[in-house]
Structure 1
């Protein structure tokens, strides 16, 4: 396991554990629109290291553990770290933009950053197969498309407590940074680059039309 991955997982575990046992700490560093708009920009970063419970933390770290090695193998540890951070920030920036008028909106979790790593890994190795629920085989690129389309549905429905907007923003960050690092995939793997961009384009069209 790469050193950077160990550091990121350890930071998530330690920060989340502190939040589990200290509600004041949790509220001080979660993603809260009102506080961020009042100047507490640290929440844009710190909220991604807090989790609601052990299950939330475990799922995010398990997903990161599975897909991070693909990104590290293709791009190296430094680029992996940069994709993680940029996806984290893209996720929270998109959330801030789309929810800027909801001053009570709160969110936590590494899902945006982890989704960015997931999308990057799919771009880098689109032929890999995933085991949905560890049983059902599915091509990685198909999973990525379905996942983001479901995120759009969740953003519109607003019928759960999942941060679908952060997931989507993280995917955009991972997508863009990966192409910047390996621009040759625009010509070598054009079909996959275009296919994976479709949910992103749908999101922007719907946003422009006021459908979100």
Structure 2
């Protein structure tokens, strides 16, 4: 389990550059996705197979998934362009981008409320977006097969978990400032990890015994993997050394579980 948990670096905190940033090496950290494979979809092999209606719903769910992934990739591409311009001596567009697209408590209080959503679609290094999108692709497709998940529900789970994760990050930052008012406010939250955790928690609630393959070898029930991440994030929630937004992870996971209990348990509308 420890080797699995060391892979949980999927939300970062960044500070705004005061001058053109120097080029940096891509992060070596990964998420569970690069070491995970689903054995099979319990949903696609149940309830008598696919009907034309279920096939249409699956395709619509996948369209929602790929649209979310496409939005992340598009924002990342634009961020990389601005980051390159900053490295060449023109930092202001990148600074403005970070102020308007990433989550910071002071900026949020000063009226940049939209960052509660936009921060979820923002990544500024290749390792971060790869790990999030890899995980989202596998677990997102897995959940898309569930007959109880309509495109509308899929979108609510993803966006609701994302916003809930961002709110969790802001709440933790607020509590830190309450405890230490002199603390500087340069940290920025970003990344789709809250949504990924929400999707993962719904999938784990609906199909807890479905197996995942850690490092492509070690089988583990989906519920155990998600529970392991929850324990990891809870343990390091207030660590002074971490650059991971653990509160954002837990916020997304909490939304997914609440949504499952309120809307999906027993598969009642």
TM-score by length of 1: 0.82
Q: Which has the higher helix share?
A: 1
Q: Does 1:96 align with 2:170?
A: yes
Q: Does 1:131 align with 2:191?
A: no
Write the deviation string for residues 44-72 of structure 1: whole angstroms up to 9, x where unpaired. 10011111311110111111111112322
1:26 matched residue in structure 2: 98
What 5-or-longer segments of structure 2 have no aligned partner?
A: 1-58, 83-93, 178-182
Contact 2:99 2:107 in 1 (8 A): no
- Please tell me whether Structure 1 or Structure 2 has the larger radius of gyration of its CA atoms: 2
Q: CA RMSD in A?
A: 1.7
Q: Say yes or no: does 1:110 pair with 2:192.
A: yes
Q: CA deviation at 1:185?
A: 7.0
1:172 aligns with 2:254: yes
Task: Check if 1:184 corresponds to 2:266.
Answer: yes
Determine the structure 1 residue equivalent to 2:156.
82
Q: Is the 8 A contact 1:154 1:164 kept in 2?
A: yes
The count of residues paired between Structure 1 and Structure 2 equals: 186
* Separation in structure 2 between the aligned mates of residue 46 and residue 94 of structure 1, nearest angstrom: 15
CA distance in 2 between counterparts of 1:3 and 1:170 reads 22
Equivalent in the alignment of 2:50:
none
Aligned counterparts of 1:63 and 1:163: Cα–Cα separation in 2: 17
What is the deviation of 1:158? 3.1
CA distance in 2, matches of 1:87, 1:149: 18
Alignment partner, residue 62 of structure 1: 134
Segments ≥4 residues shifted beyond 6 Å: none
The match for 1:51 among 87, 108, 123 is 123
Deviations 1:160-203 (A, max 9, x none): 211111000000011111222213279xxxxxxxxxxxxxxxxx
Whole-Å Cα distance in 2 between the matches of residues 120 and 109 of structure 1? 19
